[in-house]
Amino acid sequence: MGRGGQVPTVGVVGYLSLDEIRVDGVGREDVPGGAALYAALGALAGGVRVLLGAARGSDFPEAILEALAARGVDLSAVDRRDHPTRRARLVYGRAGQRDSGHYRQGEWHVATRALTPPLLPDAATPAVVVLTAMPAAALERQIAWARARRAGVVVDTSEVFATGEGERLLELIGRVDLFAPSREETRRLLPGLDDDAALKALGDRCPRVVQKRGADGLALVSIAHPSGLRRPALAASVVDPTGTGDACVGALGAGVAHGLDDPALLAVGLEVAARAVAGFGPEGLGLATPAPEAGR
């Protein structure tokens, strides 16, 4: 519970997408996704109310939004835009390697600009705002909105933004409460440093940093734990890693809203990540996806 025994509200801002996912040669297309969707589901799993801020593409399925609303997600800050939904292509090999082919497609970058997430409504009063991966200029506006309302701020990024806008991102994380990059993103932000050294360097800029390490779990540095904490991933049946990190970040945002200390914060992030990875697309978090296509 939040202050006064109330269930806190977490704003989740970012992109919705339709994904092609292939794991060990088995694929599905038009899987509902996007960091904002996974983070919203992760925050719900963390026991908060969720206000979703995103730009809905013209072909994003109404049924998915209805399913989110049925689970209690507030969609009043979802804007409809006259542009096709951003699409991602994620291919995972047997050894766990991932190819994000959409980053090399011009259409993805055009959609990223056209579907820039809106600000949450002026009247909204979330306890925490989770800002998923977005361009630095959009991230700066979102941070300013949250800070003007004294909301906590949790930020994630992606490899494409960490590569192209690393210096600006490093400046912006000094304005937030928690930064939660993956170790792959950390390596793009701070090339030449190993994971532990990069985590420490980020901790010199931000009061609380959680580094997502995939199958190796989570690592944290904070004001309370300057020497760091490490927690292994929970045992789980790995079906599809898509969105697991985003769901974890949503859960971390819920934990911040609940006022959890560092060990408890890592525990809720790991628990939600284990649920996410155990289903295809967002199925592990309770949202149905299209069945595999015949012959694929």
Check: pTM over 0.85? Answer yes or no: yes
Mean pLDDT over residues 237-257, rounded? Answer: 96
Residue whose C-alpha is closest to residue 131's, from 256, 287, 275: 256
Per-residue pLDDT at 100: 75
Residue 296: pLDDT band (50, 70, 90) is very low
Residue 260: pLDDT band (50, 70, 90) is very high
Using only C-alpha atoms, what is the Rg of the chain? 17
Cα 215-41-17 angle, rounded to 5 deg: 90
Q: What is the rounded distance in angstroms from the CA atom of residue 131 to the CA atom of residue 253? A: 9
Q: Terminal CA-to-CA distance of the chain, rounded, Å? A: 45
Which range has highest mean pLDDT (91-100, 151-160, 286-295)?
A: 151-160
Per-residue pLDDT at 222: 98
Instruction: Answer left, alpha or beta for residue 34, where phi above 0 means left and psi between -120 and 50 means alpha.
Output: left
Q: Is the pLDDT of residue 155 over 80?
A: yes
- Please give the DSSP secondary-structure letter assigned to residue 255: H
Residue whose C-alpha is closest to residue 34's, from 7, 4, 51, 56: 56
**At residue 161, what is the residue type?**
F
Q: Is the pLDDT of residue 43 over 80?
A: yes
* Residues linked to residue 231 through DSSP beta bridges, in sequence order: 218
